[in-house]
Amino acid sequence: MANKDVLKEIAQKKKERIILAKQQVSEEDLKAKVEGLPAARPFMESINKPRQISLIAEIKKQSPSRGVIREDFNHQDIARIYEECGVQAVSVLTEEDYFGGNISYLSDVKSIVSCPVLRKDFILEPYQVYESRVFGADAILLIAGLLTREKMVELMGIADTLGMDCLVEVHDEKELKKVLNLKAPLIGINSRDLHTLEVAPGTTEKLFPLIPKGKVVVVESGIKSSQDVLFLKILGVNAVLIGGAIMSAPDIKNKIEELMGW
């Protein structure tokens, strides 16, 4: 496992999936479908609340680092609980091969919740940005470690024309510099190195002070307790994205209330 580059492997699989998707629905067809859609819900605005830390609650069945996280996985039931809890946004993992996701989960979840929905996947090209919008995403995840500067500019530009926000994810100082040069308003700090799947404790403490005031910052990965959330709130982080801790809890609602102090 140690010398396996997981991110590279996932990206390779994803490229094959995109080729298949294009055979089903062309990019032109997606662009045509985008035309008549209602406006996207304001993702960044929803998670940027003064004096409080927002929750982006994730829907995912499994992950490469943990295997199956939730056996009795039903994305619609989970979405209903999230809606009841009043989460600020929902993140939906749509990657098929490693996370057990599906693009159709986006539209299912979108019809249940009233908050914005983030598509969490390995987005490599414009086709997926249009696809995200057609299936109901209000925002998309872009992984700095996976994309060149030019590609990020291109994808952010397309998302912008479609009214979608981009959560741009970094996991070290080099990636953060790249993203700050792009003037991305919404930055995700992921303490998990996606190449090795190792979690580096202290990533947030190291990177957060380097981010200019005025950016909206989301911390992802490794948030397990209310102490973790409180620490990030005091630090000044705008939102937490929590998947594993919620997905592995027998009682999702209780877990959210316990983590967030709601």
Question: 84-101 in b/e burial notation, b at 16+ Cβ within 10 A?
Answer: ebebbbbbbbbbeebbbb
Catalytic residue among 14, 110, 120, 178: 120
Catalytic residue among 48, 132, 190, 191: 190
Q: Which tokens hold the place of 17? A: 């999936």
Contact 208, 217 (CB under 8 A): yes
Catalytic residue among 14, 132, 220, 255: 220
Catalytic residue among 63, 169, 233, 255: 169
Rounded to 5°, angle at Cα 95 from 239 and 245: 40
Distances (CA, A) of 137 to 10, 109, 141: 21, 10, 10
Whether 110 is a known active-site residue: answer no
Catalytic residue among 58, 95, 125, 131: 58
Q: How would you classify the pairing of strands 89-93 and 54-59?
A: parallel
Whether 226 is a known active-site residue: answer no
Whether 174 is a known active-site residue: answer no
Catalytic residue among 175, 221, 238, 255: 221
Whether 221 is a known active-site residue: answer yes
Whether 74 is a known active-site residue: answer no
Strands (E), 88-164: 89-93, 117-120, 139-143
Whether 60 is a known active-site residue: answer yes
Q: Which tokens hold the place of 117? A: 């929905």
Whether 3 is a known active-site residue: answer no
Active-site residue set: 58, 60, 120, 169, 190, 220-221
